């Protein structure tokens, strides 16, 4: 799967493109009671950042799943709130050219994908516009330069998936697949269009194997994971596995060259059942930085390896690490960015909140011959100023926080006065909040852009570069940024 870069859209051109699809609002008519679930017809005015169509009914905003701007659709109201309503498209009466037939036969029922009905170019435009709008509306900020949207292809990219299992005692039916879009039901699938083919091909046989288990009520879930070379199956059971059945499963895994990991009963972490550790485990590589990362099925890794490579390359280009510099990597994980910075000649302080990940990060650094990387364990959502590493001067910083963002961390980082801060975000809303705080603390938003880590879904990743304002040039939005940060400082 080859990587590519989609040119950045300006705010003006994006607005023009979306304006071409706008229609007038639906005339005022008395709405059918929500309880009847009666179908209504709506004209879709524009797209929302999460990929839903926006219309109005009785002058109340209605967010419509499965609809595109410019279309007329028949919908069913699914939820009504005091200030808005939600609906699901039942029939497209007047489609637009940007609509396509979803390639997946399970689309609409399976909860894994939500925007397959859009041409891929529109998906990228909406995700880029989501970053633009969050930074503009929530933080009042616009970068000096919009980066091209990173993409690495739209299909067969996922190297990890979670398969749910549901045993119905009354009907004696076992379902294995993905959770449904709107409830806790399980949608059975025989293949998956966004899953790495090395994992998708296992789905039919897994169902047959699980049907043979004598205590189906003890089946939990399955994780399938692929590295650059090996694959793994992690099975969660609520009690110790049946010995005879486990022997059959192990034989099948051996035939497939599929590692088998078990998490039984009260175990908090999975253990490798087959093969022996010396036979080689899971790993992924970053060829541009001559780095290999060993991991287990329980570790967090990026599920889109092709995009991850592009992301790390772009982050290092923005950070512009020079030999001898000291880099602080917060929320470092296995060292996805740390090892790349060290390979460029930097001394790296890598900080991660999970002890097991810290141990594997140090092991990966040693295995790659990078002695200038030191991993530390700390809760980065709490006060960490007392940590020995926290007071050391640094030249540059990279942050890759979870969805909650890094408000506390950016306040500490700004006090270290690095020359560059690169922020990787999986939630543009908290990126905007933290960008506003950095602006108030004297750091200007230089570059920003979207990254499509999860094609066919509404999830948006972003990357941003901050540098200090020149003396006397603190941001115009400083006061607003400070107020915004205080408002959202309690978000979890």
Whether residue 303 has a cis bond before it, omega within 30° of 0 = no
Other Cβ atoms closer than 10 A to 81: 9
User: What angle (nearest 5°) sits at the alpha carbon of residue 26, between those of residues 20 and 27?
Assistant: 135
Return d(Cα 162, Cα 186) in angstroms, integer. 12
Phi/psi for 350 (5° steps) reads: -105, 130
In whole angstroms, what is the distance from residue 433 CA to residue 242 CA? Answer: 51
Cβ-proximal residues to 80 (8 Å cutoff; 6+ apart), any chain: 34, 86
How far apart (Å, rounded) are the C-alpha atoms in residues 387 and 399?
Answer: 17
Residue 110 contacts residue 176 (beta carbons within 8 Å):
no
Query: Which residue shows structure tokens 């690495």?
Result: 152
Tokens of 25: 């609002």
Considering the candidates 110, 113, 253, 426, report the single residue annotated as catalytic: 426
The H or E element spanning position 78 is: strand 72-80
Determine the 3-state secondary structure of 17 from DSSP. helix
For residue 377, the surrounding DSSP H or E stretch is strand 373-377
State how far the Cα of 102 lies from the Cα of 385, in Å rounded to an integer.
Answer: 50
Taking the mean position of all CA atoms in its chain, how far away is CA 363?
Answer: 26
Single out the residue of 374, 235, 237 nearest to residue 298, CA to CA.
235
User: Which of 99, 96, 79 lies closest to 43, judged by CA?
Assistant: 96
377 catalytic, yes or no?
no
Q: Give the Cβ contact number of residue 289 at 10 Å.
A: 20
3-state helix, strand, coil in the chain (%, to 5): 30, 30, 40
Which region holds residue 70: left if phi is over 0, alpha if psi is between -120 and 50, else beta?
A: left
Which residues does the annotation mark as catalytic? 426
């Amino acid at each position: 799967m080859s990587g590519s870069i989609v040119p950045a859209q300006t705010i003006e051109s994006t607005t023009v493109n979306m304006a071409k699809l706008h229609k007038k609002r639906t005339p005022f008519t008395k709405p059918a009671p929500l309880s009847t679930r009666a179908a209504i017809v709506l004209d879709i005015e524009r797209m929302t950042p999460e990929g839903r169509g926006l219309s109005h009914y009785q002058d109340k905003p209605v967010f419509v799943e499965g609809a595109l701007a410019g279309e007329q659709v028949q919908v069913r109201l699914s939820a009504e709130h005091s200030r808005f309503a939600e609906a699901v498209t039942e029939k497209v009466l007047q489609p637009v050219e940007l609509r396509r037939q979803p390639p997946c036969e399970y689309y609409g029922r399976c909860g894994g994908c939500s925007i397959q009905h859009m041409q891929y170019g529109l998906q990228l435009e909406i995700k880029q516009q989501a970053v633009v709008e969050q930074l503009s509306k929530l933080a009042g900020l616009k970068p000096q330069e919009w980066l091209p949207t990173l993409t690495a292809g739209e299909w067969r990219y996922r190297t990890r998936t979670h398969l749910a299992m549901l045993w119905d005692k009354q009907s004696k039916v076992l379902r294995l697949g993905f959770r449904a879009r709107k409830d806790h039901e399980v949608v059975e699938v025989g293949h998956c269009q966004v899953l790495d083919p090395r994992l998708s091909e296992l789905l039919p046989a897994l169902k047959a194997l699980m049907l043979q288990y004598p205590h189906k009520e003890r089946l939990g879930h399955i994780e399938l994971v692929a590295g650059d070379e090996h694959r793994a199956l992690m099975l969660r059971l609520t009690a110790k596995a049946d010995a005879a059945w486990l022997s059959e499963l192990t034989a099948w895994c051996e035939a497939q060259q599929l590692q088998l990991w078990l998490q039984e009963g009260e175990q908090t972490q999975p253990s490798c059942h087959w093969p022996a550790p010396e036979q080689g485990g899971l790993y992924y590589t970053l060829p541009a930085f001559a780095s290999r990362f060993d991991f287990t099925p329980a570790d967090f890794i990026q599920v889109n390896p092709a995009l991850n490579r592009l992301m790390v390359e772009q982050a290092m280009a923005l950070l512009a690490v020079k030999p001898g510099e000291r880099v602080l990597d917060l929320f470092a994980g296995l060292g996805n960015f740390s090892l790349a910075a060290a390979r460029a000649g930097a001394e790296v302080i890598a900080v991660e909140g999970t002890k097991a990940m810290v141990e594997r990060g140090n092991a990966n650094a040693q295995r790659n011959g990078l002695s200038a990387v030191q991993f530390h364990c700390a809760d980065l959502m709490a006060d960490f100023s007392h940590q020995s590493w926290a007071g050391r001067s640094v030249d540059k910083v990279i942050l890759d926080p979870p969805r909650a963002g890094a408000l506390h961390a950016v306040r500490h980082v700004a006090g270290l006065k690095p020359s560059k801060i690169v922020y990787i975000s999986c939630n543009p809303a908290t990126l905007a909040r933290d960008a506003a705080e950095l602006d108030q603390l004297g750091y200007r938003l230089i570059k920003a852009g979207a990254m499509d880590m999860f094609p066919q879904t509404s999830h948006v990743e972003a990357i941003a570069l901050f540098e200090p304002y020149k003396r006397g040039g603190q941001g115009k939005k400083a006061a607003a940024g400070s107020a915004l940060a205080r408002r959202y400082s309690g978000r979890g």
